[in-house]
Amino acid sequence: MSAAYDLTELVSLSRTLGEPWRRFVILAEGNTSQRVSEDQLVVKATGRSLRHASAEDFVVVNLRRLSDLVDDVNAGDADVALYFDEVEKEQGMRPSVEALLHVVCVLNAGAATVAHTHPESVNALLCSDRAEVLAGPPIFPDQVVVIGRRALLVPYTDPGVVLAREVRGRLVDHAREWGLPRVIYLGNHGMVALGSSAGQALQLTEMADKVSRVLTATLSFGHVVPMTEESAERIDTRDDEQIRRTALARTTLQQPRNE
Ligand SMILES: [Zn+2]
């Protein structure tokens, strides 16, 4: 991609998410994006790995053009492919097939940086008949501080424009009851972190991974005993936790070590 935008944080986030020990993604799985202007989103190109990402692995897409395709119920993957052809002709690479999902997260949920991954721990639950525990009441206070009181769970949907449309519809319903989510779980697929920054997108993914590990261990012992709604609300609104949340959101990403 052209050097028109500073993608240091986005590249750093991508490489960190791709570190093999985290088990968030392998091969060319997952994708990241960053809103760079009112109408432009920089998103990972298809087939590129997060682990070895550089600024050359990202393309610029037009938010409005893609959002219009999500709006148009008659538009399908073929219409998206036509736009992607244009991008490929101009920039030499095609956007990830999940670019529309990123567009919805940015335009309909206010994210500035989006990270979509397939963590093993999260997918273990998302591929089970207990996936709903991920979107239930929180199980420990740090989960509330980072992710909030409710994440959104979307049942498996065909990736691409259909998934983007489904997520957008469910975002509206979720926002009415709980406010906008910071994490979206996709049944039999993976998760999306909706960050206000690259640092926050990483924290959300790390916390979702931890929550999944704890839930899986808990389910092997017996039933999940979540926090009460009252306790979760208390953590969500306490002043000292707000201070901690603000401090966390300001954390910038460390440069990942080169391997
Ligand atoms: Zn995916």
Per-residue pLDDT tens digits of the chain, which is 259 residues long: 555 789 999 999 999 999 999 999 999 999 999 999 999 999 999 999 999 999 999 999 999 999 999 999 999 999 999 999 999 999 999 999 899 999 999 999 999 999 999 999 999 999 999 999 999 999 999 999 999 999 999 999 988 999 999 999 999 999 998 899 999 999 999 999 999 999 999 999 999 999 999 999 999 999 999 988 888 888 888 777 777 777 777 777 765 555 4
Reduce the DSSP state of residue 13 to 3 states and report it. Answer: helix
φ and ψ of 14, to 5 deg: -60, -45
Two tokens at 156?
């498996």
Residue 238 CA to ligand 1 center (angstroms) comes to 35
Residue 160 CA to ligand 1 center (angstroms) comes to 10
Residue 141 CA to ligand 1 center (angstroms) comes to 28
Measured CA to CA, the distance from residue 239 to residue 249 in angstroms comes to 15
Residue 234 CA to ligand 1 center (angstroms) comes to 34
* Spatial contact of 231 and 138, defined as CB atoms under 8 Å apart: no
Residue 233 CA to ligand 1 center (angstroms) comes to 31
Residue 47 CA to ligand 1 center (angstroms) comes to 12
Residue 243 CA to ligand 1 center (angstroms) comes to 33
Residue 29 CA to ligand 1 center (angstroms) comes to 7
Residue 221 CA to ligand 1 center (angstroms) comes to 30
Two tokens at 201?
């997108």
Residue 31 CA to ligand 1 center (angstroms) comes to 8
* Spatial contact of 107 and 200, defined as CB atoms under 8 Å apart: no
Global confidence as pTM = 0.92
Query: 138: left (phi > 0), else alpha (psi -120 to 50), else beta?
Result: beta
